[in-house]
Amino acid sequence: MRSAAHLVSSNNSRRATATEDSGVAAGSSDNPGGKFDGPAKLKCWLQTAAAQINLGSAFRPKVVTYTNMKHTFIDRLKTALVAIDLQKGVVGRQTAPYAADIVVKNAAAIADACRKNGMPVFLVRVAFSPDGKDALRPCVDAPVPAQTPPPDWTDLVPEIGPKPGDFVITKHQWGAFYGTELDLELRRRGLTTILLCGIATNIGVESTARFAFEYGFHQIFVEDALAAMSAEEHTTTVTKIFPRIGLVRKTQEILADLLAD
């Protein structure tokens, strides 16, 4: 075991060597008091800074960047499916650019792939109390006409579920985060990425996606498992909004990744 005196001696020896290498002797007339000045001081500072940068890099969190789904691994332990409003009252409407039955078919295929991999599936539906007083009523230019929905309006379509182990989230507005347990359920399970699909692209899905982005979730939007009331609305959101807050991919790309061994 080295003595304290030996360690001090070694440290002094190393300091002396560093001083000699700098070209200015400590305590000389060019360097009174043993301080580094000029180029030697700058060199020493740069060497110290470089060492700190290299040390810090070992503790930086690894950031996974999705660039091309064909070369991307979806972390199945940290990813969940969130399907928006695939319920009878919404799926029964005419949608574009994909018909609602195509959206449901693609979403169901992804849901089954997620279940096969033990990945959580969150099925979101919109519903209101019998008196309707939990519905939003701000002053708007284009209000939704008042109507009495049929009894099964809020029922999820059977193709999507729910199946054992699925989570059903009931929301009372466009987005699936505000006033629901979705954020809590995702975070407490350590889930950091969500696959998003559903209807409508520019309303329920986009509202949920904007919240998710601001909450720091990674997002992958399944473009052909989405639809809106018009092709124009769908295209605007998919090309102008979603690429800025996540990744836009096709069903087959997602399935190829999830079903790969």
More confident residue, 43 or 111: 111
pTM tops 0.85, yes or no: no
Residue 19 Ramachandran class (φ > 0 left, ψ -120 to 50 alpha, else beta): alpha
Assigned token pair, 172: 């009372």
Looking at the DSSP assignment, which residues form a beta bridge with residue 126? 171
CA 78/CA 214 separation, integer angstroms: 18
In CATH, what is the architecture of 69-131+150-258? 3-Layer(aba) Sandwich (3.40)
Mean of the pLDDT values across residues 66-79?
69
CA 164/CA 158 separation, integer angstroms: 13
pLDDT at 47: 64
Assigned token pair, 91: 């799926």
Task: For residue 12, name the pLDDT band (cuts at 50, 70, 90).
Answer: very low
Dihedral sign, Cα of residue 152, residue 155, residue 158, residue 164: negative
More confident residue, 146 or 254: 254
Per-residue model confidence as pLDDT tens digits over 170-212: 999 999 999 999 999 999 999 999 999 999 999 999 999 999 9
Looking at the DSSP assignment, which residues form a beta bridge with residue 195? 81, 220
pLDDT at 44: 56
Map out the domains of the chain as residue ranges. Answer: 20-60, 69-131+150-258
Helix (H, G, I), strand (E, B) or coil at 180: coil
More confident residue, 118 or 30: 118
Looking at the DSSP assignment, which residues form a beta bridge with residue 226? 198
Q: For the chain, what is the mean pLDDT? A: 81
Instruction: Show the beta-strand stretches assigned E in the chain.
Output: 79-84, 121-126, 167-171, 193-199, 218-227, 247-249
Q: Are 169 and 182 in contact (CB under 8 A)?
A: yes
